[in-house]
Structure 1
Amino acid sequence: MVAGAPAFSVCRDCHHVGSPGQRRCSACGSPRLAAHPELGGLQLAHLDCDAFYASIEKRDAPHLADKPVIVGGGTRGVVTTCCYIARIRGVRSAMPMFKALKLCPDAVVVRPAMEKYAAVGRQVRQMMRDLTPLVEPLSIDEAFMDLAGTERLHGEPSAVTLVKLASRVEREIGVSVSIGLSHNKFLAKMASDLEKPRGFSVIGRRDTHDFLKIRPITAIWGVGDAMAGKLRADGLTRIGQLQEMEEAELMRRYGVTGARLSRLSRGIDMRSVEPRGEAKSISAETTFSVDLYRMDELVPILRRLSEKVSARLKATDLAATGITLKLKSADFKLRTRQRKLADPTRLADRIFACGRALLENELDGTRFRLIGIGCAGFAPAATADPDDLVDAGFAKRAKAEAALDLLRNRFGEGAIETGFTYRATPPKSDPHRS
């Protein structure tokens, strides 16, 4: 359907298509109706799973259904995510665990199981791809969809297809999703946040200006704390203020960011949905029960984390083009250091060597409570780890690592150790992988 098509409503429970203006579904009586004057003319959607990790844990442990659940590390860790019951108590992602447990002392804390969450995320995205090839993942639990041109294929308006998708995900996978429908990616993503959980929100073309006018500037994607501070210093706190300014003035003040602010404040976003493979964020990190600062303490842990990252790369069709080292000090100050690789890699040996070199530059006596290592970019697996003419021992180490992988695949991850990790006894830690 296109702009100007007859208005309608669709029941989000029984999927009955009815006339607009109803308060309840004429077929089943449900008040959960999706209705908007432009409902038939919008095809760009953003789907976001609700409290994804916590929802999966509740699905797999039904006795947790009515309890506040926090997914994260131990008492020295941080909150990865939490359910809506815990959010009502004030718990938020990235909050130190001790603070979260003060706000919600009866919370059930569950360690992250990233492999399980990734598998469920792939199930959800496959259901999206069943409807359209134009699916652009943003993270493990959210993606854009462009349903333009699929109405004839499915025999129904895009909005009806999306309502049925939400029901299918909840019925077959056991987690709920919220969907935003609009005329561009920026607004579709904003819409998906409006009615969580189990939301279905629409921002039409005619709504755009007034909808954005009253929103805080921080609602614009990419306006973080630093940019928001600059804007506040200039007296700008609402998107409506940006709408009243000329683009040239915003560019004079904020450079290319000013042009972007001008366009988005008016709801202009020309980006298309770019289908691609799985969106990957491959990393591993751990939070220590006591602070560490010596190389001999940190190296075995870094090696173990490098092996985990390598294993996840080898399970995909991707290779790392750069390495990121992450450190968090005892006073919660975060350090991230990156290095681009000469050639893409999937080998733990190269990941670790790069991470170790970055770590050596950071050992200045600071005590750290967390260390992590991950990928700073990706390339196809076929481009990874060409022969190294400079490093004579590279081929030998690569063959040795392949042999280790075969043994671990056959006998389990702990079947064999390297010299760096054998009998290493670092303080008890809490693994978080993303």
Structure 2
Amino acid sequence: MATATERAILHVDMDAFFVSVELLTRPELNGRQVIVGHAGERSVVLSASYECRALGVRSAMPMSQAMRMAPHAVVIEPSQGLYQEFSRSIMAIFREITPLVEQLSVDEAFLDVTGSMRRLGSPREIGELIRRRMHEELGLPASVGIARNKFVAKIASTRAKPDGLLLIAPARTVEFLHTLPVRALWGVGAKTAQSLQESGITTVAQLAALTEKSLQRRYGASGTHLFALAHGMDDRPVEVTREEKSIGSEETFAVDVFDTEVLRREILRLAHRVSARLRASGKEAGTVVLKLRYADFTTLSRSKRIDYPTSATGVIAKTAHALLQGLGERPQAVRLVGVRAEKLESSAGGYQLSIDAQEDNWRQAEQAVDRIRERFPAGALRPASLVRPLHGNVPDGHRSDPGSIGTEAG
């Protein structure tokens, strides 16, 4: 992989990203069991330190289960604005290395460095450069996988954790894959793995020993995909443009909620989150979606197209409140509520003029709040109407924003 004729793909994944960011301001917690997430029993783990992972704690695990596994862990409330700020810095460093960056999440991306080798050296040297810059400039650990394609690079970065680098030379791709269990293949989930195991296939080497036709007979169209994975074949390019199709935020209540006013208040809080993220992304919403999940896990969503694309909290909240009212009397208590912006458009062309001075005043106020949050990302700035609990039912066991930040596996 030392020449520009061989494609070189890096998969860079930050290690326990949310925890690592939090530890920058809490160095006294280094080496201790740390979980990032809300403390409520019905919330989930967003990130766990490797000390917790050694005990079996994983991202997306229910917090109640995690606390049984690691009863002495320190639980830290997530600092979403701070994670986004670091994410922007991480991606900026990647784009200084190569313009071919495909961002997968706040802390993970593919980089095609084929064209960067003449300037920066071999793929391994570029990978070490990235890891060094992450440590020196941001104080964060990162794991890097290097291979001739995205599929193998991603597996390699997982095997390099924590805080390591693994390069799979093109000539050794198949040899590397054949040392792995079949579950390690990207896209092979529990059902597929079970089906393969029932056929006596538990390793990639066993899978690769079968012909493509035999796999097609057994698994239909998926057989071709399995055959390609087992032989390390993946010609997908690094997709530079990754347009967000929606921006959303949702919360799970600590106690199921009947009270409409509590729901309306929570919807307002979610609308503020969504509108702030729209502005940060340079986007405006053409449609607002309301999501409800009842106590029995029945889930429904309703959407409404708004008059003109906007990132204004007032418009998003008003539309979501109207959708809630349109549902009429609810048959059960609500377990989860979410607000999502869809039909996104760039806000580069400016905003829709309005004869309503109040709307313009709110726009200016929200922009001022955004600037304050950029300067003080860990602050608790919020609308006055959301400061005091309503009837003591403020949801304190939330699950945090899977559509925007989510859990992280690094």
Which one has the largest radius of gyration? 1
Can you list the C-alpha shifts for 1:201-260, whole angstroms capped at 9, x where unaligned?
Answer: 122223222332343333232333454455556655443444234434544555544332
Alignment of 1:269 onto 2:234: yes
Match of 1:260 in 2: 225
Unaligned segments of structure 2, at least 5 residues? 373-380, 406-410
Can you list the C-alpha shifts for 1:391-433, whole angstroms capped at 9, x where unaligned?
Answer: xxxx677x64442232344478545659xx9985561224524
| Cα distance in 2, alignment partners of residues 90 and 173 from structure 1 | 28
Match of 1:150, SS state, is helix
Alignment of 1:407 onto 2:347: no
Can you list the C-alpha shifts for 1:331-366, whole angstroms capped at 9, x where unaligned?
Answer: 7x4847475858755344554425863796597534
Contact kept? 1:140, 1:279, Cα under 8 Å: no
Identify which range, 199-208 or 377-386, moves more after superposition: 377-386
Aligned counterpart for 2:75 among listed residues 103, 109, 132: 109
Alignment of 1:142 onto 2:100: no
Identity of aligned residues (%): 34
When the two structures are aligned, how many residues end up with a matched partner? 387
Aligned counterpart for 1:195 among listed residues 160, 168, 172: 160
Match of 1:219 in 2: 184
Cα distance change of structure 1 residues 85 and 241 upon mapping to structure 2, 3 Å threshold: same
Contact kept? 2:302, 2:323, Cα under 8 Å: no
Identify which range, 315-324 or 166-175, moves more after superposition: 315-324
Alignment of 1:346 onto 2:311: yes
Match of 2:44 in 1: 78
Contact kept? 1:286, 1:372, Cα under 8 Å: yes
Q: AA paired with 1:271?
A: R
Match of 2:172 in 1: 207
Alignment of 1:133 onto 2:99: yes
Match of 1:89, SS state, is coil
| Cα distance in 2, alignment partners of residues 236 and 341 from structure 1 | 49
Match of 2:134, SS state, is helix
Q: AA paired with 2:340?
A: G
Alignment of 1:242-257 (within 5 A): 242-251=207-216, 254-257=219-222
Shift of 1:78: 1.4
Contact kept? 1:293, 1:363, Cα under 8 Å: no
Identify which range, 309-318 or 140-149, moves more after superposition: 309-318
Match of 1:308 in 2: 273
Alignment of 1:378-397 (within 5 A): 378-382=344-348
| Cα distance in 1, alignment partners of residues 324 and 223 from structure 2 | 35
Aligned counterpart for 1:319 among listed residues 267, 284, 288: 284
* More helix by percentage: 2
| Cα distance in 2, alignment partners of residues 362 and 371 from structure 1 | 15
Aligned counterpart for 2:340 among listed residues 341, 350, 374: 374
| Cα distance in 1, alignment partners of residues 220 and 310 from structure 2 | 36
Greater relative contact order, per chain length (Cα 8 Å cut-off, separation 6+): 2
Identify which range, 53-62 or 235-244, moves more after superposition: 235-244
Can you list the C-alpha shifts for 1:150-194, whole angstroms capped at 9, x where unaligned?
Answer: 22223x222112202201211221110000000000110110000
Match of 1:239 in 2: 204
Cα distance change of structure 1 residues 241 and 318 upon mapping to structure 2, 3 Å threshold: farther
Contact kept? 1:139, 1:279, Cα under 8 Å: no
| Cα distance in 2, alignment partners of residues 359 and 166 from structure 1 | 51
Cα distance change of structure 1 residues 410 and 203 upon mapping to structure 2, 3 Å threshold: closer
Q: TM-score, normalised by structure 2?
A: 0.80
| Cα distance in 2, alignment partners of residues 422 and 117 from structure 1 | 26
Contact kept? 1:284, 1:372, Cα under 8 Å: yes
Q: TM-score, normalised by structure 1?
A: 0.76
Identify which range, 367-376 or 68-77, moves more after superposition: 367-376
Match of 2:94, SS state, is helix
